[in-house]
Amino acid sequence: MLSKYVGRKTSSIENDITKARNHTRQRGNIMRVVFGIDVSKASSEVAILVNGEKVHGYIIPNDAIGFNRLLGDLKTVHQPEIVFEATGVYSRRLQTFFEDNSYAYTRLNPLESKKQLDSLRVRKTDKIDAEKLAASQFILNRKPSYVQEVIYQELRDLSRFYQNLTEDIVCAKNRLHKVLQVTFPELENILSAPTGEQYWNLVITFPCNSFVLESDDATLTAIIRQSTAKRISEKRVTYLVDKLTKLANQSYCAVKKTSPVIEEVKYYARELLRLSEHRQGVLEEMVTLAQSLPEYEILLSIPGIAETTATSIIGELGDIRRFHSANQINAFIGIDLRHYESGNFLAKEHITKRGNPYARKILFKCIHNIASASHTNPCHIADFYEKRKRQSQVTSTKPHTIASIHRLIRTMYYLITHNKLYDYTSTQNR
């Protein structure tokens, strides 16, 4: 039957499936139709199999025209099974198309897909991949993917935006530091840390020491007051004026006031102000969305987890209730251990790092925040972290942090699935 349909371009999909249905009825079998889709950047390869035999295959563009053609074919079938591989942003529109039209689908992780298909294919092309995705469904009988509520996807998008803005801020800080070494490196010592609204405003006003030396104390006082929206005392203003003047007197600028480097310094400082303000707006939007979810208050009840961390965790992990165990979350973020043993050789275990790198980074920092907050807010995760650190003979804290992340995940999973707030006392009774 496969040779009967492969390569036919003139017959419609409806006619092909009708013939396949009649053939199936003659055999007395139940008809299963699987759409295997290999998603690329601009187009997707579609393979349609009926009871394991290919009846049609074609390429569609990843746009409304291509999706409408696919929709027409899906409507000719009762309860079609759809399988495709998640390809990041490229498969996002296809996934939304299925959800908008109320079609269940199975979205495969690329690594999972590779493991399942490697044994089924000798050659690799988009056409073969689409066909093998569909053919493997008859063998593996995968369940449809869990579709989360829209709010979780929005939080994920905002979380990624927040992370990208953070990376841009770090990049701009490094560039500002580099050019400031040419013009006025001493200015980095004006405040306790060379960052924040007040510092960047001062950099814009005084990109080199000559701008300070040409101003009198009254002008400097007014500028320092305007550099921050926060209320600042007279004593603090006088201290900063004196310190700024002292730093300017000991500095030596390597360029003239008309140098393009001066404009570069101002540009990065303005860019940092803009990025920081935008990031704060994204965080506020994340918090507004997350507040409607019960897990938000649950995560905040864990000592050391604040608004930014709680919203980022929800954004990256999504609806934790969709996981069947805490170990699945470990695999999702890539902290499950890789075990290799052969004969008398036993390799040292390392985490796989195959999961969500953003979630892994957030939880890694979260453990250190929990450990820092434990001085005033005790937490059994911090107790475990400190205990492992005392028992360890290595200087690196990474192994203890990974073990603590696993404990944190178990805690979050239990609290969220049972809708309970964190209680340190109850952890001591176990």
φ/ψ (deg, to 5) at 423 = -140, 110
155 close to 289: Cβ distance less than 8 angstroms: yes
Of the pLDDT bands very low, low, confident and very high (cuts 50, 70, 90), residue 4 is very low
Distance separating alpha carbons of residues 129 and 133, to the nearest angstrom: 6
Q: What is the pLDDT of residues 230-275, one digit of tens each?
A: 999 999 999 999 999 999 999 999 999 999 999 999 999 999 999 9
pLDDT, one tens digit per residue, over 321-380 is 999 999 999 988 988 765 444 555 444 556 777 788 999 999 999 999 999 999 999 999
Fold for the domain defined by 152-288: Helix Hairpins (1.10.287)
> How far is Cα 92 from Cα 272, in angstroms, rounded to an integer?
31
Q: What is the pLDDT of residues 286-337, one digit of tens each?
A: 999 999 999 999 999 999 999 999 999 999 999 999 999 999 999 889 887 6
Residue 312: CB partners within 8 Å, gap ≥ 6? 159, 162, 163, 286, 362
Domain ranges of the chain: 2-140, 152-288, 293-428
The enclosing H or E element of 106 equals strand 106-108
Sign of CA dihedral 375, 381, 386, 387: positive
Q: Which residues contact 111 (CB under 8 A, 6 or more apart)?
A: 354
Torsion of CA 328, 318, 380, 306, to 10 degrees: 160
Q: Which of 243, 196, 238 is nearest to 218 (CA)?
A: 238
Residue 396 DSSP code: -
Q: Evaluate whether the domain defined by 2-140 bears CATH number 3.30.420.
A: yes
Give the separation between CA 132 and CA 118, rounded to whole angstroms: 10
